[in-house]
Structure 1
Amino acid sequence: MRQYSSTALALTLSLIAVPALAAQQATVYRSPSCGCCEGWVAYLKSNGFDATAVSTDDLGAIKAKMNVPADMQSCHTATIAGYGVEGHAPIEAIARLLAERPHVTGIAVPGMPGGSPGMPGPKEPFTVFTFGPAGETEFMRF
Structure 2
Amino acid sequence: MGNSFTDAVARRTFLGFGLAAAALPAGVAGAAQGPALEVWKDASCGCCEGWVRHMQAAGFEAVVHDVADLQAVKARNGVPDALQSCHTATVGDYVVEGHVPASDVRRLLAERPRARGLASPGMPPSSPGMDIPGTPYEVVLFGGGAGTRVWAQH
User: What TM-score bracket applies, with the shorter chain setting the length?
Assistant: 0.7 to 0.9
Question: For the Cα contact (< 8 Å) 1:116–1:123, is it kept in 2?
Answer: no
Matches of 2:109 and 2:44, distance apart in 1: 30
Residues 74-129 of structure 1: per-residue CA shift (max 9 Å, x gap): 00000001100000001121111001000000000001011210113223101010
Identity %: 46
Which structure would you say has the larger RCO, counting Cα contacts within 8 Å and 6 or more residues apart?
1
Question: For the Cα contact (< 8 Å) 2:140–2:149, is it kept in 1?
Answer: yes
Matches of 1:82 and 1:64, distance apart in 2: 16
TM, length-normalised to structure 2: 0.75
- Cα-Cα RMSD: 1.3
Instruction: Note if 1:76 corresponds to 2:87.
Output: yes
Aligned partner letter, 1:100: E
Alignment match, 1:123: 134
Structure 1 stretch displaced more, 91-100 or 126-135: 126-135
Question: For the Cα contact (< 8 Å) 1:22–1:47, is it kept in 2?
Answer: no
How many residues are paired up? Answer: 122
SS in 1 for 2:148: strand
Unaligned segments of structure 1, at least 5 residues = 1-20
72, 84, 106: which one aligns with 1:95 = 106
Alignment match, 2:151: 139
Unaligned segments of structure 2, at least 5 residues = 1-31
**Greater radius of gyration (CA):** 2
Aligned partner letter, 1:62: V
Matches of 1:99 and 1:120, distance apart in 2: 26
TM, length-normalised to structure 1: 0.82
Instruction: Note if 1:49 corresponds to 2:60.
Output: yes
Question: For the Cα contact (< 8 Å) 2:114–2:144, is it kept in 1?
Answer: no
Question: For the Cα contact (< 8 Å) 1:37–1:118, is it kept in 2?
Answer: yes
Matches of 2:123 and 2:77, distance apart in 1: 19
Alignment match, 1:7: none
Aligned partner letter, 2:149: T
